[in-house]
Structure 1
Amino acid sequence: MRNDPRWALALIRATVLEAAHPQIGAALIDNSTFVAHPWRRLRNTLVSLQRMFGADDHTRHREAARLNRLHARLSGTDAQHRPYDALDPGVRAWVVATLFDSAVTMCRLSGQPLEQTAMEHLYAEFQGFLATLGDQAGHLPHSLHEFWPYFDRVVEEELENTEAMRIILYKLFDHLPAPPLLNGLPTLWAAGRTVAGPVVGAITVASLPEPFRRRAGLPEIPGAQTLMQSAYLAAGLARFLPEGWIRAEGITDLLALSPDSDDPRAMTITALHDQVRRAGALIRLINPLSAPPPDPGETDVRRGAEEFFRAVLDQTGDGYLDWPDLAAMARELAGRLDLDEPEETRLYHAYADWWRELQSALDTDGDGRVSAQEYAVAVPSLAGPALIRVAEVLFDVTDKDGDERIDADEYRALFRTAFRRDTNGGEGTYGRVAFVKDFLSFMSGRRRSTPYDPLFADA
């Protein structure tokens, strides 16, 4: 079931139910990159689920330890001054509950309801998910019979019409940025998104529990129930396609693949990208853009301070730079490199030191965050000692064998592509000095960079 194409709809539904929980909604608003980098967020979520529900015990326990470290760093208060904590066992139980209920719902809506035995087996798998995380039994009901009253109670008594839920339903799909595969084709992507966004939103709302739809004041759109059932049925028919075509991780990898990558699938992607470009050119003949988009293959080109702030620094998409934005960078790097302790903590500490340096230098009004205007004024002074330290630590954790060179495999782990640059100090390697220089040039000089743009700026 892990690679069932219906999970695309079920995961959206589960995410909305998670975001409607006050604690989870607040954590998403404060810390998540789901607004500015939704494709990256989706891919990381799917990778984590694959690891947690895979057959390899070692991989599953390593991923559980990583999630626990990640959750330990997510706590705070919401706009109503209510505390939230991602390690709260009741909150984590609700996340698992939404996934289980959405799996059951996707089978029911697509005309293939689970039999009782299969449902109990699936519920046991999700209970095992929590057990692997180390959560004590009891926060998720012990039996399937007890689960449904628990689920209904949370839906009716605890869920709210949160800001995070509204963003997912009414903003995210309408403003969803193009995946890397379709970068440079804004007109074509916008045309498809204009149609698909409201449809996905309507399908998701129609699939939510009716008591919550009523209490949250979500609209009843005529025909939405029929549209929802048709979408689930159509997604279910995809199971008859060859297995390799519908693997979730394969599809998300494909969307994240750059057309100029050296990945074996790059030839196919490049051909597809060329076809899409031609289609985009035809659309532009009908509705020309006011200005041509920048060439995504162009390197070493200066970008404006506001564009760099929005695309790279403001990872959470709230219009400001603060600690959650830099923590998101550290989180992405740690995930790509599959870091364990203590390397992961070293990277977070380096970013925390950089945040303190930025806050001291740029936060002129003392509100605890940096605006785009504050950043633009002081941008020449960004390459301080703390940023240099970030580059040094990133080099160290990427250089797995400690030979003071980043080889082709280590480079690929970080950038997901092979060398496409003139490496300094030896064929097929990347030396410390060159690495630090390039990192600082990108992070403080605001220069476009073929490897670093996908790392931090891609959606």
Structure 2
Amino acid sequence: MPHDSAPDVDDDRTKAAERHALDAMATTALRDSVNWFLLLAGTSNVIMQLSARPIGHGVKDSPVDEGNLFLNPARRRRTTLGYIAVAMLGGAEERAAYRRATNRSHAQVRSPEGAEVTYNAFDPALQLWVAACLYKGAEHAYERVHGPLTGAFAERFYREGMVFGTTLQLPHAMWPATRQEFETYWQTSLDGLEMDEPTRAYLMRVVRLEYLGRTVSPRLLRWRERLVTGYLEPRFRELMRFDWSDEDEDRFARFNRRMARFTRVSPRWVRELPFRRSLHDVRRRLEAGTPLF
């Protein structure tokens, strides 16, 4: 009867209104982390995300060829950068559109029956881990330029970081309520990570730029591996079996100090340039009715 379904209708309307409010969330504090460090640490962040074994297998074995890094590297880079740009700089309509596009792609990403490692791209726990890694990347990008996050600004920055999850399908209630609760979640999650050899081998192929399909100079690859390693927390270095010496740390710190000085004196449009270009591409596609993915 009609009265029996009314509560469900009201609940759906409430959820829709809540989702729209989250999509419309201003990211004025989070925006201060939009800089070149997000790109420099991009591969490191991928390693962080895929260190959760189900996510590693979900990406490695994904049946979605269009989003496969080794089959369509340009498209994969565009959609990944587009997601970050929309989450951090976009508006409500762009976030909602990107979520719908992501959902269509993720609907195919689930483990086959009988798989040793089970995964489902719509698993909220896995989405929380991805969002948490992206948030950590933003936090690190901010702190490398501006110093530690503190006080009320730190909590506002953290709350705004929720967009990394809600631009997917993560229920906002799953995002830890405070930065301290997030840290507890993060440390507990680190303790539970494990990485198998197939995932490690896949990630090493990413580090070595094999998806480019051409020879890359050994010198560049050595520099890239040091950079990727430097932007990883010790636990992830351990999982990847990366070596890291005091000398490596000194060189890495000098590089970051130079990059931080350059970033601080750069106008905002320079700091945001790659992300602004990506957001412009998303808006152009939406206006033209072109698929985002």
Q: TM-score, normalised by structure 2?
A: 0.72
Please state how far the C-alpha of 1:89 moved relative to its aligned partner.
0.1
Aligned to 1:218: 242
Q: Give the Cα–Cα distance (whole angstroms) in 2 for the partners of residues 49 and 236 of structure 1.
A: 21
Q: RCO greater where, 1 or 2, for CA within 8 Å and sep 6 or more?
A: 2
Q: Does structure 1 residue 143 correspond to structure 2 residue 178?
A: yes
RMSD: 3.5
Contact 1:43 1:249 in 2 (8 A): no
1:241-280 matched pairs, under 5 angstroms = 241-246=266-271, 247-249=273-275
1:84-95 matched pairs, under 5 angstroms = 84-95=119-130
Q: Deviations over 1:212-235 (max 9, x none)?
A: 433553323452222332333333
Q: Give the Cα–Cα distance (whole angstroms) in 1 for the partners of residues 238 and 113 of structure 2.
A: 24
Q: 1:68 aligns with which of 94, 103, 112?
A: 103
The number of residues matched between the two structures is 254
1:36-55 matched pairs, under 5 angstroms = 36-55=71-90
Cα separation, partners in 2 of 1:58 and 1:212, compared to 1, 3 Å? closer
Contact 1:89 1:135 in 2 (8 A): yes
Aligned to 2:255: 231
Q: Does structure 1 residue 82 correspond to structure 2 residue 113?
A: no
Q: Deviations over 1:153-201 (max 9, x none)?
A: 11111342553444334554353528xxxxxxx7xx734xx32222222
The structure with more radius of gyration: 1
Please state how far the C-alpha of 1:41 moved relative to its aligned partner.
1.5
Cα separation, partners in 2 of 1:38 and 1:73, compared to 1, 3 Å? same
Extract unaligned runs of 5+ from structure 2: 1-31
* % identity of equivalent residues: 17
1:148-187 matched pairs, under 5 angstroms = 148-161=183-196, 163-169=198-204, 171-175=206-210, 177=212
Please state how far the C-alpha of 1:90 moved relative to its aligned partner.
0.4
1:37-436 matched pairs, under 5 angstroms = 37-77=72-112, 81-109=116-144, 112-161=147-196, 163-169=198-204, 171-175=206-210, 177=212, 190-191=216-217, 194-214=218-238, 216-221=240-245, 223-239=247-263, 240-246=265-271, 247-249=273-275, 338=286
Please state how far the C-alpha of 1:243 moved relative to its aligned partner.
4.2
Contact 1:23 1:83 in 2 (8 A): yes
Cα separation, partners in 2 of 1:10 and 1:222, compared to 1, 3 Å? same
Cα separation, partners in 2 of 1:155 and 1:125, compared to 1, 3 Å? same
Extract unaligned runs of 5+ from structure 1: 179-185, 257-334, 340-397, 401-412, 415-459
Please state how far the C-alpha of 1:73 moved relative to its aligned partner.
2.0
Q: Deviations over 1:253-288 (max 9, x none)?
A: 9xx9xxxxxxxxxxxxxxxxxxxxxxxxxxxxxxxx
SS at match of 2:136: helix
Q: 1:12 aligns with which of 43, 48, 57?
A: 43
SS at match of 1:118: helix
Q: Give the Cα–Cα distance (whole angstroms) in 1 for the partners of residues 239 and 203 of structure 2.
A: 18
Q: Give the Cα–Cα distance (whole angstroms) in 1 for the partners of residues 164 and 141 of structure 2.
A: 20
Q: TM-score, normalised by structure 1?
A: 0.48
Contact 1:53 1:60 in 2 (8 A): no
Name the amino acid aligned to 1:153.
Answer: T
Contact 2:85 2:276 in 1 (8 A): no
Q: Does structure 1 residue 30 correspond to structure 2 residue 61?
A: yes
Contact 2:81 2:275 in 1 (8 A): yes
Cα separation, partners in 2 of 1:121 and 1:40, compared to 1, 3 Å? same
